[in-house]
Structure 1
Amino acid sequence: MGRYTGPVERLSRREGVDLELKGARRLAGKGALERRGALPPGQHGGGRRVKTSVYAQQLREKQRAKRYYGVREKQFRRLLNEAAKRNAENTVTGERLLQLLEQRVDNVVVRLGFAATRAQARQFVSHGHVLVNGVRHTIASARLKPGDVVTIKDGAPIKPLAQEATELVAIVPAWLEADHDGLSGRVLRLPTRQEIQVPITEHLIVELAGRS
């Protein structure tokens, strides 16, 4: 199945939380979630809610995480398997999964404030406007490590958009260092769970994986 190309605000309404799929519109309080509330889209969205099973809640949490980070099923399953194999490092599987997702290039570009959404960040990367350690980078799913430097390429046509995006950022996470004037940033270390502010209950995802 390909990437979802429909109205992204429907996804936030479906999940009942802000998936940060819109930029300035969301921050201005004009998103569909604020206007219509946390009701599923469609003519029956406001009907009586049916109590969901534990399995349904776990599956919903997995869908929420995939949509938040813009990751497809195969990629997500691969990351979850890798997270499960790293328990030797005394890191909870769910926390490690979120760390792996946060290390993606497209996510770091957003966290640094150089793009308003992850979709926009992926476009910046895939079009070759982002440099990693001074080298042109086109793989949005690639994983960054502590010490890596991310820069918007000099002369890139998206620089005005990146500068505009920096004005929407309230705070850059402590595990990153950003120079908004120079459109450059550095990964200082891996994030802790407390620093990953996402509307995701990761232990439900791990429990779902344990069923298979």
Structure 2
Amino acid sequence: MARYTGPKTKISRIYGEPILGNGKWLTKNSNPPGQHGATRKRKTLGEYALQLREKQKAKYTYGLLERQFRKTFEEASRIKGVTGENLIKLLEARLDNTVFRLGLAASRPEARQLVAHKHITVNGDVMNVPSYSCKPGDIISYKNKSAVNTSITSKTRGKNPKFSWVDWNETELKGTFITYPERESVPENIKEQLIVELYSK
């Protein structure tokens, strides 16, 4: 299973932003990680370093390892349109990310666990593959047994209204992946063009 299991705050301090969820510790210590983090200045990065940094940031944000991320990029490059925007659309369409956007989990790792433990169904069928790519019109919901488990449903926060590409029905506990999001609607601070430039070398 492709996932990062190391210290989350360390990664957030590298990038200076809470890319792995809760960023409460950044207000206390936003220095780079390491023994000399407080005294070390953030040096100006070269072109390649900036491109690699953006790719790593995207991988950490969406919880992918290199091979999976590369396959997603190759798929994005085959789709008609702007490759960078297609990449973000495919990452947002992942089932674990969609469950997170619907508000069924507080973080992507938590959403990934819900999917992997077979608590989520897609169009009525149990789906335990976090990388499943949702299609417009897909219905995402809890499995019947999971829907009555309060330890699972109590974590439901409700959908953020700014995520217009998904919809959540609170009474029926069902969500819909309406369409692929436009890039300007996705709040993640990722410069996808740098990733395209990196893989184009």
Task: Provide TM-score, normalisation by structure 2.
Answer: 0.91
Aligned to 2:36: 44
The Cα shift of 1:135 comes to 0.6
Aligned to 2:164: 174
The Cα shift of 1:109 comes to 0.2
Which of the numbers 151, 157, 163 marks the counterpart of 1:160? 151
The Cα shift of 1:159 comes to 4.5
Instruction: Find the aligned partners of 1:12 and 1:208 in 2 and give their Cα distance.
Output: 22
Structure 1 residue runs of 4+, over 6 Å off? none
Please tell me the residue identity of whatever aligns with 1:48.
K
Size of the aligned set, in residue pairs, is 199
Which of the numbers 118, 133, 136 marks the counterpart of 2:126? 136
Percent sequence identity over matched residues?
Answer: 41
Deviations 1:64-94 (A, max 9, x none): 00000001100100111111122xx3x2110
Instruction: Find the aligned partners of 1:158 and 1:51 in 2 and give their Cα distance.
Output: 51
Aligned to 1:200: 190
In structure 1, stretches of 5+ residues that fail to align are none
The Cα shift of 1:132 comes to 0.5
SS in 1 for 2:161: coil
Instruction: Find the aligned partners of 2:182 and 2:41 in 1 and give their Cα distance.
Output: 39
Task: Provide TM-score, normalisation by structure 1.
Answer: 0.87
Indicate conservation of the 8 Å contact 2:2/2:63, yes or no: no
Instruction: Find the aligned partners of 1:170 and 1:65 in 2 and give their Cα distance.
Output: 21
Please tell me the residue identity of whatever aligns with 1:133.
N
Deviations 1:157-178 (A, max 9, x none): 76534433416x5435111111
Structure 1 residues 36 and 182, CA, compared in 2 at 3 Å: closer, same or farther? farther
The Cα shift of 1:34 comes to 2.4
Aligned to 1:8: 8
Counterparts in 2 of 1:63-212, with a 5 A limit?
63-86=56-79, 89=80, 91-156=81-146, 159-166=150-157, 170-171=160-161, 173-211=163-201
SS in 1 for 2:110: helix
Instruction: Find the aligned partners of 1:33 and 1:51 in 2 and give their Cα distance.
Output: 21
Structure 1 vs Structure 2 CA RMSD: 1.9
SS in 2 for 1:150: strand
